[in-house]
Structure 1
Amino acid sequence: MKAFHAVHWGVSLGAVLMATPLLAQTAPAEQAAPGASAITDIIVQARRREEDVQDVPAVIDAVTSAQIDKLNLRSFNDVQALVPGLELSSNANGIGANAKLRGINFDVNASGNNPTVEFYFNDAPITAGAIIQQMYDIGQIEVQRGPQGTLRGRASPSGSITVSAKKPDLYGYGAYVDLTANDIGTMNAKGAVNIPVIEGILALRAAGVWDENEGDRVRAANNPDPRSTTTSGRLSAIAKPLDWLSFEGTYQYLKRNAQSYDQAISFSEANPDAAPSPVLITAEDRLSLQERPRPIHQRFEIYNWRAEAAQMGQKLIYQGQHYTQKLYSADNFDDAIFFPGQIVDQVTNTRAKATSHEVRLQNEERVFDFLDYVIGFFDYKNASRTNLTTPTVVRLPLLFGGGVAQIVNTPIARPTNEHEQSFFGNLTAHIGKDTEISGGLRRIDYSFVGNFSVGGRVIDAQDRDEGKLIYNASVKHNFSPDFMVYASTGSSWRPGLTAIGDFNLAPSALEKSFVNVPPESSKSYELGFKSTLLGGRAQFNVTAYHQKFKNFPYRSPTGIFYVNTVAVTNASGTVTGVSQQVGQFNFVSPVPVEVNGVEADFNLAVGSRLNIGVNGSYSLGKIKNGVVACNDINGDGIPDVTTGTPSLADLQAAVGADNLATCRSNQRSAFLPPFSASLQGEYRIPISRATDSYVRGIFSYNGKSQGDPTNPFDNVSDYGLLNLYAGVRGTDGNWELSFFAKNLFDTTKVISRTNPYFTSYQQLGFGGFSNGAPVFTGPTGASATSTYTGGSLTPPREFGVNFRFAFGTR
């Protein structure tokens, strides 16, 4: 096995060194010297003006439209393979998505609408769920690491991801079509048409995608196959009636319907001491216990508009956006399948709409020949309403078969309204041609109104008004045109949040403190350099950083057991009282966190045919003596290793009136591997003047990681995924035919594992007969623990083909 492992990694590295694409390179470069090529400049908008990425004193990963095409990146999740240290994911139920970066986590179900990594579409903030979908007709993606907020939109402590759709071209007609098919059920078609309606004045661009795939390919016996179908269209317009005045507008609609299953894995696969499962299910089986697929329906509409006016070297910009989302899913609450054949679903409906406006003034020509500035005002409103029904099963006594007597569906409602306003400004002084000092401020005012109602009863109402002044400062010095050193510091702030999912009718004060979390603040310090080597044929950049958080909302990756009070109803559905049972929820703990990390990248053009790029990220975040919600049935102050569900009596004895336990923690603050890297490159082979052939690929490495530090059964060893591509293309860029293999070695890793599945229910007792009819007592809380756990896996292997044809303006 060791010999095979060595050969496997050796073949992977050798293949990538011979055949993979340079990150952020858009096209073959001009000749820097005979037989050598220079690396193409990448222009970014990280500081709200066009700059070469090598001139910006920050870590920015730019993914261009050319690279999206070259690597057949269909889903936005695929971007994480190019950006080490970044994890993109969507919740299994389709209600939300998130990004994780620089050693800390974010969960939209816990952290509301203020993520650790903020997303932007065409320069306006947007929910991650609308972006982490199928990609098409993208101009550029920029991942900027570190605290954001003094220059763009909303404050975010870990970074921002900006996504720009391709804009209409005012001067040229053009179109393209891009078709992909693979051996695991994927069909993907996307394309665009560009029309200059009035040359130089008005242009339109229409783009769209249709995609059908089998998701993660987890199946259930004798059930429909998993399926995800996405249809989306975008219409963009640009008008430039005067040289100094322009208008832009975009409308996008996206519809996704899916049916999916949760992966089940026998607990004995990770824990040899666990009881054997009735049927052994391994990770490689990609099987589920669910009797029905989970239905998911998502609808997004985005309206984006922009106006620019430039006079006397200054530019006034107004950016607006309005989007709506409609989300539906039905989740099986009987995870242990203790009541087979019964529909025990939590049905969730979410409706949300958000509107943002930003007005900013900035210079195009430097003031007094050495100053750049940006000042502006930002306004954001979000209104959402989530309605769901949470089920409670009432079970008959064993004497009467132990079947389902009743399923009580309790209605839950959560309407919220949030409003954020801020003034911001940034000033950059260019001292001579080699030194730059920059600093910015943003004053944030935030208000939130919302409540939780369970069964028509309001159990938590909030009305918050909060605010903060944040800052950012940097200094950089060019010791030569090819070597720049910089240092920066910045702060960030996020408003307090309310975690979603604890619907206890009688929450304790301690329990509420892990649901309603105070505002978070952080400070960051960064030092790095950027260099260009070998006459423009190589780049080498390194950055080190340190970040400290107060009240970071740490959410337990696995559920915390707590005493949950639920409604009891009679046969007619009337609530007759309450009862307690064992509940499980991923509570959120406000804790101090420190993060230390290093990020580096090296890009090299070897001659005119071979490009190689290496990116690496190390980031370790740790809670510093924080108090967290935990499972501590034995009362020793140390989180228990959970192998089953405690009885209600044991839980009540351990936690008393607090409903849950707490522990002191110094564990990791993220479930990502501290170290990750990617190795890329491309080797081009001319066939004729009109045709090139190539081999390219990307090898993504993920180091060892811990999911939940209190769960020793979900630790992940290091692994790598290799994607290879080979094909031919026209040198004019009009056509390309490629064949690819993703996850070539079919590497299957469990990258997260839950505690054993369990189902809570209410058990009726038998009190004899009265007038010939049985008398039931209770009910009392009970639970059943499964021999299976849940898990998530690396993506399945796929072999596929892609064909692209274009003419005119792309």
Structure 2
Amino acid sequence: MNAVFDKKPLSLALQPSRGHQIRQRLSLAALTTLLSVGSVGVAAQADTEPMLALEEVVVTARRKDESLQDVPLTVNVVTTKALDDLNIRRFSDLQGVVAGLTLEEDSLAPNASVRGVRFDTYASGFNPTVEFYLNDAPIVSLAAMQAMFDVAQIEVLRGPQGTLRGRASPSGSITITAQRPVFNELGGYIDLTGTDHAGQNIRGAVNVPLIDDVLAMRFAGFYESNEGSQVETLAGDESEYEGDGYRASFRLAPTDNLEINLMYQRMQPDRRDVKQVESAYLADASLAPSPVALDEGDRKGVMDVADRSSQDIKRTNLEVQYDLGDHQVNYAGSYTKQAVTRFESDDAGEVFSEWDDFSAPTSTATKGQSHEVRFSSSEPLFNGLVDYVAGALYQNNESYTDSSSETLLDLTSVYGFWTVNETPVVSAGESEEQSVYANLTFYLTEATELSAGLRRISYENESEILVNGNVISSNDNKWDETIYSASLKHQFTEDVMGYVSYGSSWRPGINVVGDFSDNKTTLEESFLNLAPETSDSYEVGFKSSWLDNTLRVNLAAYYQEFDNYPYRVGGEGIYYITERSGSQSVDQFNFVGAVPVNVKGLELETFYQISHQWDVSALVSWSKGEIDGGTVPCNDYGTGSPSVADISAATGGDHLAACTVDYRSNNAPLLTATLQSEYSFPVASMEGYVRGMVTLYGNSENDPANQLDDVDSYEMTNLYAGIREPEGKWEVMLYAKNVFDTEQVINREATPYLAGYRDAALGYAEVQRSSDYRGIKVTAPREFGVNFRYNF
């Protein structure tokens, strides 16, 4: 990390809570005692080794700078040092550091989950259960979950959010803070990584003061290329990632009480992705052997060519802070524009050897803006009895997608060839949110505080789907809702704090895109247009320091109830009857059911500074979310691929089946744990170190409707060793990720890949074929690498 610092000491910027003030007074008393022994005692103390203690971690979870140990909620912090130490280059790698957090990459709709429920972008759109922020302003998951470069700190806030920041989010928030320009310090760094999988990563930044104490700028950028998932086709086409990006930031302080931060960022990642398969008979002995036997260790796909995607993501952030003595005014605004073009195979299982992979491009353009004004007290008011935060948010998002629904036609009986019929599909949508919020904190005693807040939300969205130029779906929804939060915190001793909290949350109803039938049944519509989701969460926890602040132990337990949680069917979806121009056929789609969900869990976080050279930390998360008697779309048609007649007979003439279920609401393991440790030692005039990280994943049922994708427990181990200049000028590190080359199938499709076509010889009736292969996802392979960092 570049060794540049702000002109103000951190302690002056910190706005302490009442519990932290107690510790400050004790520290002042200790300082007075130390000074009373005279200058000789002070000189003697200076010659001794610094006191052994854990460093204070400062977070902004409650919209002010506070010690992590003073905040009455669960916050997991990943600092810039941790990002560098663990060579985290992709956002999704954070799930190996933060136990209980699941991040799934996707070139169009990445998603996240925490605390027992899943954020599925295809189901939730711009309204995730885990909200993302960049520099204090909301950001959609596609723009957030990209390459990591020049990041100052990431905070994972667990539990309902919304009465203090941005938008309502029922499961938590992830805040990303980029490195800001620093006054009066010219400096920067360059960071280089090379891997044994043809991977290369270049990151760097330069900080330039322009006017002393008034204006500074920072420019950062990255370039990376690698072999992606390292899955390749039998024909030799390979997965690949190549991306670059930059960020330009300006910081202006024209007066002592006004500061302005402006940032512009652009990233352009390109991906080629081969879907990995295994021979279908390996999981089902009743099936015939495949032409080429493949298992998870082969890392092969059978598609003709890799899926391809290109993204162009632009982001502008503006932050303004104005101090008014006892009060402060903040503005956080953003504008994001994204363009994605993707080619995704319609025949990943190589069902049709007569025809190369057919895939029409899907082009998606989105743009969004947000504006938030916040008023807060700089210091507790009314003789230290209360402080406040109040504000208003406006957000607007627009999206437009142009794609095609493709039908393969066998015309050999008429014309002697195969062809593809493309039906243009256009979907467009716009959402607008306006909300106001307020939160008050009352300091009941020196050790006890009570906080309460609310947010009033007005939300509107419009969406439309056109198939072949005809409108088949149009929605215009408006909602008004209020959410609440409350917490009671007590500092039992200087080192032990306990709290209880409550939070409600809300998400707008959703309109699911992907069923392009022009004649839908009532049941079918119920799985496409869902009512708003509501939830109530209850949490109790304590935070503590022991052994002269060398050991930190934080524990939380929670329970949360959801109504109308959008549960999206996994895998290839369910079979249903689609109807176009009076003609019926069978298709598959991931419909969504609005279901009740109950979640319970525990989270434990510990840090132990054993000595000045040795530290160890652990994070454990157990979370279980279950659908409680919810109605979901299902394949209730027996085994195999059903016909139109089969579905109609099983459902009494409906287009799809529904089942009442009681099963998991999330595919993540119930239990995950991360253990980290580092030991440093002198090497001549340098400092050497070794560190390790072990992430444990417990058993997981994955999709309860799929009997083949249960996952046994497994672990992933990363090791790092290196040498660094004591003042932090440079560092060289060797590492191995997934040291033991664990190959664990973490997702397996219930059935082999299926694909249909229409046969002219049969009156253009639909015919289904099954592949000899099924789709799987496997843990990342072992990676060896070397990293060099130079600070200037």
Normalising by structure 2, what TM-score?
0.92
**1:55-134 → structure 2 map (5 Å cutoff):** 55-91=70-106, 94-134=107-147
Aligned 8 A contact 1:581 1:762 in 2 = no
Aligned-partner Cα distance in 1 for 2:259–2:573: 54
Q: For 1:619 and 1:321, how far apart are their aligned partners in 2?
A: 34
| 2:370 counterpart of 1:356 | yes
1:155 matched to 2:159? The reply is no
Structure 2 residue 674 is the aligned partner of structure 1 residue 670: no
Counterpart of 1:592?
596
Displacement of 1:171: 1.4
Correspondence list, 1:157-236, <5 A: 157-236=170-249
1:756 match: 751
Query: In the TM superposition, what whole-angstrom CA distance separates every residue of 1:188-209 from its partner, at most 9, and x where no partner exists?
Result: 0000000000010000000000
- Letter aligned with residue 352 of structure 1: T
Question: What is the match of residue 563 of structure 1?
Answer: 576
Kept in 2, the 8 Å contact 1:545–1:597? The answer is yes
Residue pairs, 1:381-400, within 5 angstroms: 381-396=396-411
Aligned to 1:365: 379
| 1:687 maps to which of 683, 707, 721 | 683
Match of 1:17 in 2: none
Query: Structure 1, residues 51-102: CA drift from partner, whole Å, max 9, x if none?
Result: 00111000000000011001100001111111111001122xx112111100
1:211-610 correspondence to structure 2 within 5 Å = 211-340=224-353, 341-368=355-382, 369-396=384-411, 405-565=418-578, 577-610=581-614
Larger deviation, residues 520-529 vs 33-42: 33-42
Query: 1:620-643: CA deviations, max 9, x gaps?
Result: 000001111000014xxxxxxx6x
- Whole-Å Cα distance in 1 between the matches of residues 620 and 331 of structure 2? 37
Give, as a single letter, the amino acid of the residue that structure 2 aligns with 1:663. Answer: C
* One-letter amino acid of the counterpart of residue 780, structure 1: A
Query: Could you report, residue by residue, the CA deviation over 1:571-621 in whole angstroms, capped at 9, with x for unpaired residues?
Result: xxxxxx553222111110000000000000111011111100011000000
Instruction: Spell out, residue by residue over 1:217-238, the C-alpha distance to the aligned partner (whole angstroms, 9 max, x if none).
Output: 1100233322111100000000
Which residue of 2 is the match for residue 770 of structure 1? none
User: What are structure 2's unaligned runs of at least 5 residues?
Assistant: 1-44
1:657 partner letter: G
Q: Which secondary structure state, in structure 2, belongs to the residue aligned with residue 510 of structure 1?
A: helix
Judged with a 3 Å threshold, the aligned counterparts in structure 2 of structure 1 residues 190 and 758 are, in CA distance, closer, same or farther, namely: same
Any residues of structure 2 matched to 1:609-758 within 5 Å, and which? 609-634=613-638, 644-688=640-684, 690-758=685-753
Residue equivalent to 2:150:
137
User: In structure 2, what is the Cα distance between the partners aligned to 1:265 and 1:647?
Assistant: 26
- Cα deviation for residue 717 of structure 1 reads 0.1
Aligned letter for 1:580?
Q
1:359 is matched by which residue type in structure 2? V
Residue 786 of structure 1 aligns with which residue? 771
Matched, 1:47 2:51: no
1:652 is paired with a residue whose SS is helix
Report if the CA contact (8 A) 1:178-1:189 is conserved.
yes
Q: Deviations over 1:687-736 (max 9, x none)?
A: 24x52100001000000001111111100000000000000001111110
Aligned partner letter, 1:498: N
User: How far 1:336 sits from its partner (Å)?
Assistant: 3.4
Structure 2: how far apart are the matches of 1:83 and 1:740? 20
- Which amino acid in structure 1 is aligned with residue 783 of structure 2? E
- The alignment partner of 2:84 has SS state of helix
1:580–1:780 CA contact under 8 A, matched in 2: no
Equivalent position SS for 1:528: strand
Q: For 2:616 and 2:50, how far apart are their aligned partners in 1?
A: 16
**Counterpart Cα distance in 1 of 2:429 and 2:760:** 41
Q: What letter matches 1:684 in structure 2?
A: S
1:598, 1:33 → 2: CA distance? 41
The 3-state SS of whatever aligns with 1:68 is helix
The answer to whether the 8 Å contact 1:303/1:323 transfers is yes
Q: Is the 8 A contact 1:565 1:578 kept in 2?
A: no
Question: 1:301-346 deviations in whole A, cap 9, x for unaligned?
Answer: 0010011110122111111100000011111112332323334214
Q: Counterparts of 2:302 and 2:284 in 1: how far apart (Å)?
A: 19
Moved more, 749-758 or 466-475: 749-758
Q: What secondary structure sits across from 2:708 in the alignment?
A: helix
Contact 2:463-2:474 within 8 A present in 1 as well: yes
SS in 1 for 2:312: strand
Q: What secondary structure is seen at the aligned counterpart in 2 of 1:272? A: coil
Q: Distance in 2 between matches of 1:188 and 1:795?
A: 18
2:772 maps to 1:806? no
Partner secondary structure for residue 85 of structure 1: coil
Corresponding residue for residue 18 of structure 1: none
Whether the aligned pair in 2 keeps the contact of 1:749 and 1:793 (CA below 8 Å) is: yes
Separation in 1, partners of 2:482, 2:50: 53
Pairwise CA distance, 1:668? 0.5
Deviations 1:646-690 (A, max 9, x none): 2333233223432110111001000000000000010010224x5
Contact 1:168–1:205 (CA<8 Å) still a contact in 2?
yes
Letter in 1 for 2:789: R
Partners of 1:64 and 1:141 within 8 A in 2? yes
SS at match of 1:736: strand
Q: Percent identity?
A: 40
Which 10-residue stretch deviates more, 554-563 or 43-52? 554-563
Relative to 1, partners in 2 of residues 1:537 and 1:654: Cα closer, same or farther, differing over 3 Å? same
Paired amino acid for 1:736: E
Deviations 1:372-401 (A, max 9, x none): 11000000000110111110112236x679
**Structure 1 Cα separation of the partners of residues 689 and 279 of structure 2:** 44
Looking at secondary structure, tell me which structure has more strand per residue.
Answer: 1
Q: In the alignment, what sits opposite 1:796? A: 781
Secondary structure (helix, strand or coil) at the match of 1:755 reads coil
**If the length of structure 1 is used for normalisation, what is the TM-score?**
0.90
More contact order relative to length (CA 8 Å, sep ≥ 6): 1
**In 2, Cα distance between equivalents of 1:470 and 1:411:** 41
Pairwise CA RMSD of aligned residues? Answer: 1.7
Distance between the aligned counterparts of 1:284 and 1:415, measured in 2? 42
Aligned to 2:4: none
Q: Deviations over 1:756-781 (max 9, x none)?
A: 34444343354xxxxxxxxxx52112
- The DSSP-based 3-state class of the residue aligned with 2:646 is helix
Tell me the distance in 2 between the aligned counterparts of 1:561 and 1:481.
57
What SS is found at the alignment partner of 2:771?
A: strand
- Please tell me whether the aligned partners of residues 757 and 790 of structure 1 are also in contact (alpha carbons under 8 angstroms): yes
The one-letter code sitting in structure 1 at the alignment partner of 2:399 is S
Q: Distance in 2 between matches of 1:404 and 1:508?
A: 36
- Read off the aligned partner of 2:378 and give its amino acid letter: E
Give the stretch that moved more between structures: 752-761 or 386-395: 752-761
The count of corresponding residues between Structure 1 and Structure 2 is: 746
